[in-house]
Amino acid sequence: MTRHLLETDDLAADELAAVLDLAREPRPRPVLAGRGAALVFEKPSNRTRNATEMAVVQLGGHPISIRGEEVGLGTRETAEDIARTLACYHAVIGARVQDHGNLERMAAALDASGTAVPLINLLSDRAHPCQALADLLTMQEVLGGLRGRTLAWVGDANNVCRSLLLGGALAGMRMRVASPPAFSLDDADADRIVSLGGDLELVERPELAAAGADAVHTDVWVSMGQEADAAARRRAFDGFTVDEALMARAAPDAVVLHCLPAHRGEEIAASVVDGPRSVVWRQAENRLHAARGLLLWLLDAKPDGAAWSPVAEASGAAGTPRTGR
């Protein structure tokens, strides 16, 4: 059966571990050699587009990024027709959409048509699993493992938070979320995380979440599409800045994560995001490695040390070493 990734818990715990292992594969097989990847972007993207496109290139494939207005998702064409059309040309489809429901319709159409083309959520209003994979990969690298480690999320319990907590639950992490009441996880999401074995605590004060934490993660207070509510959101999140004083409550070797873009002086202090505890740039680089690991897993590649493809090497398409480590 073709697998899709619309949310982090579309993976079982052992499958999540396998994707993270594949993300470290230094010489991945060019499983996309001679094939295309269609990447639909209804919303602007910097890290997701560049990371996913380069992951496709490193696997020998050819990414084609498509703006939302070019396909007219839900206006000019239905989600189902777009998915089935793109599956005629490409080995994998990624989509960054306004409405998570459109992803579900695209996946259902692909399954109903019997195509073997997987669909990847590149961000929706509900979820951002590719970001979660990169975050988990980063914490795994810098903390030496995930099980039993404590993650503090400070700020809006948004799509990024939700996907990360689902992954943290699968990986055996302890998780605390500090949000103003109107921006906390709803009961259904909290129950879903706990049902996966997640050790989850919801609090209203950032210092309670950060106390002794191994990693502190935050995100912007005003995301794309929320600009009309910017003033009210900034008032609600007053006191939720991740600054030096808050980090002093975390474990002595705690690290700071941010999925970017960062608003220095708002949700995070410049001295923290640019300071020695920050792993933000490693996290950004890991968007690429995590995307490559996910593509390998979805396309059923095995990390068996197979010989590197001469075709891919000649084209310079893959095998790019990790940088800056």
Mark whether 4 is an active-site residue: no
Q: Which residue among the candidates 58, 131, 140, 283 is catalytic per the annotation?
A: 131
User: What CA–CA distances, in Å, run from 43 to 40, 50, 66, 189, 263?
Assistant: 9, 14, 11, 24, 19
The secondary structure of residue 321, as a DSSP letter, is: P
Mark whether 238 is an active-site residue: no
In angstroms, rounded to a whole number, what is the distance separating the alpha carbons of residues 149 and 57?
34
Residues 6+ apart with CB under 8 A from 291: 51, 52, 55, 130, 133, 134
**What token pair was written down for 31?**
């499983």
Q: Which residue among the candidates 4, 47, 90, 96 is catalytic per the annotation?
A: 96
Q: Is 257 exposed, middle or buried (0-12, 13-18, 19+ CB in 10 A)?
A: buried
Q: Which residue among the candidates 128, 217, 233, 292 is catalytic per the annotation?
A: 128
Edge-to-edge strands, sheet with 92-96: 62-67, 36-41, 92-96, 119-121
Q: Which residue among the candidates 105, 161, 176, 259 is catalytic per the annotation?
A: 259
**What token pair was written down for 155?**
């700020």
In the chain, where do the E strands start and end?
Answer: 36-41, 62-67, 92-96, 119-121, 150-154, 174-178, 199-203, 215-218, 255-258
Mark whether 219 is an active-site residue: yes
119, 95 Cβ separation under 8 angstroms: yes
Among the listed residues 4, 5, 7, 2, the one whose alpha carbon sits nearest the alpha carbon of residue 192: 7
Q: For residue 185, count other CB atoms closer than 10 A to its CB.
A: 20
In angstroms, rounded to a whole number, what is the distance separating the alpha carbons of residues 223 and 29?
37
Q: Which residue among the candidates 135, 156, 214, 219 is catalytic per the annotation?
A: 219
Mark whether 289 is an active-site residue: no
Mark whether 131 is an active-site residue: yes
At 289, which helix (H) or strand (E)? helix 280-298
Instruction: Catalogue the active-site residues.
Output: 96, 128, 131, 219, 259, 287
